[in-house]
Chains A and B, each alone.
Chain A
Amino acid sequence: MARLTTGLSPVRQQAVSVSLATGAYGLSQGALAVAAGLDLWQTLALSLIVFSGGSQFAFVGVIGAAGSPWAAVGTSALLGIRNGFYGVTLAPILRPMRGWRFVWGAQVTIDESTAVALAQPAHDRDARRTGFWWTGVGVFVAWNILVGVGAVAGQYIGEPQAWGLDAAAAAAFLGLVWPRLAPRRAQAVAAAAALFALALTPVLPAGLPILAAALVAVAAGWGGPPIDLEPTEAPV
């Protein structure tokens, strides 16, 4: 890695290493999507057009748990809300964005590109823009290639449970949420959401107990001290 990024400015080096590390867990997304019942092309399409790790893992998780396609869309949409807030923060840095540049800029507005952009000094707008574009495009390329590799490998896996892929999916969700669990209140929200979803599992159709956990977020966020909506970097 060190040799690979020699000669690049620090922000570009950071972008490349975040892209490669994030891409690596695209392998698990690809394999899990195929295990959940998507075919290779569906896995690739999901990854290319949804392009947000949490939303993709959620979509695949709901389908894998025999939930309806609409529960999968709903859960992935709710998990994508935070990307909308990243756009609000990034807009003044990236302006002006029009045409295809806007289409691309929106598509690569994710946790990692936002985190690297905002990690650069506030006065250095060029570094922030470079961080955003290099990380966004870098993750897009690495992630989608490795999702494809994971999906192809997943096709040769016979019984997903014998390979522990159901446990791998649970561990993936834990890994995605882990960096966000530092605040006490976040831990309480997580515990309440899990208990709520588990309690509803016997009574609601598959997929809906997870969507219902959104109500916990609404209840928890209704009052309380102001908090910043900061991206956490991927658990790399």
Chain B
Amino acid sequence: MSAHAWLWVAIVAAGAVSWLTKATGHRVPERWLEHPRVHRIASYMTVALLFALFAVQGFTSGRALAFDARVAAVAVAAVLLWRRAPFIVVVIAAAGVAAGLRALGWG
């Protein structure tokens, strides 16, 4: 199968898992998931994965660490988030900073 076809399979699989996860929550007895350990791990899972995605997306290139225009872009994004800017503004500002620096020949 082509890479394109495998990507389709993965999309459908991700969708099926996503719906089943949501549906399961509505159907299981509450006490099954009441354990504090389960709650803690589920809560930290979101934080750990999103921040790992941020780090890999921001500071790696292939299999190597890379510090380029993205560093300045995410620094600007962090300041905007701290100033409570809307999500879409943060994303567009980060793209603009990186694109601008690259147009100037940096990173």
Check A85 against B54 for contact (C-beta < 8 Å): no
Query: With a CB–CB cut-off of 8 A, which chain A residues contact B15?
Result: 45-46, 48-50
Q: 1/0 contact trace for B62-89 toward A, CB 8 Å?
A: 1111000110011001100100001110
With both beta carbons as reference points, the residue of chain A lying nearest to B102 in the complex is identified as A162
Interface residues of A in 129-178 (CB under 8 A from B): 161-178
Residues on B with C-beta less than 8 A from A177 are 46-47, 50-51, 54
Whether B55 lies near A194 (C-beta < 8 A) is yes
Cα–Cα distance between A232 and B5 once the two chains are bound (Å): 35
> Are A54's CB and B50's CB within 8 A?
yes
Q: Evaluate whether A173 and B18 lie within 8 angstroms (CB atoms) in the complex, with A88-B28, A164-B69, A202-B64 already known.
A: no
Q: Chain B residues with Cβ under 8 A from A57's Cβ?
A: 53
User: A222 and B41 in contact (CB under 8 A), knowing A78-B49, A107-B22, A198-B65?
Assistant: yes
How many residues of A are counted as interface, with CB atoms below 8 angstroms from the partner's CB atoms? 106
Give chain A's interface secondary structure class: helix
Closest beta carbon of chain B to A158's beta carbon, Å:
12
- Nearest CB on B from A50, distance (A): 5
B25 adjacent to A61 (CB under 8 Å)? no
A97 touches B (CB below 8 Å): yes
Cβ–Cβ contact A25 & B53, under 8 A: no
Chain A residue with Cβ nearest B12: A49
* Chain A residues closer than 8 Å to B96, beta-carbon distance: 164
Given contacts A73-B13, A75-B49, A82-B45, contact A171 B73 (CB under 8 A): yes
**A contact residues around B77 at 8 Å (CB):** 170-171, 174-175
Asked if A189 and B60 sit within 8 Å, CB to CB, the answer is no
A97 — which chain B residues lie within 8 A by C-beta?
26
Contact B99 A164 (CB under 8 A): yes
A142 smallest CB distance to B (angstroms): 12
Do A79 and B49 contact each other (CB < 8 Å), given the known contacts A97-B26, A173-B57? Answer: yes
Bound complex: CA of A107 vs CA of B21, how far in Å?
10
- Closest 3 pairs between A and B when the two form their complex, measured CB to CB: A87-B25, A49-B15, A164-B98
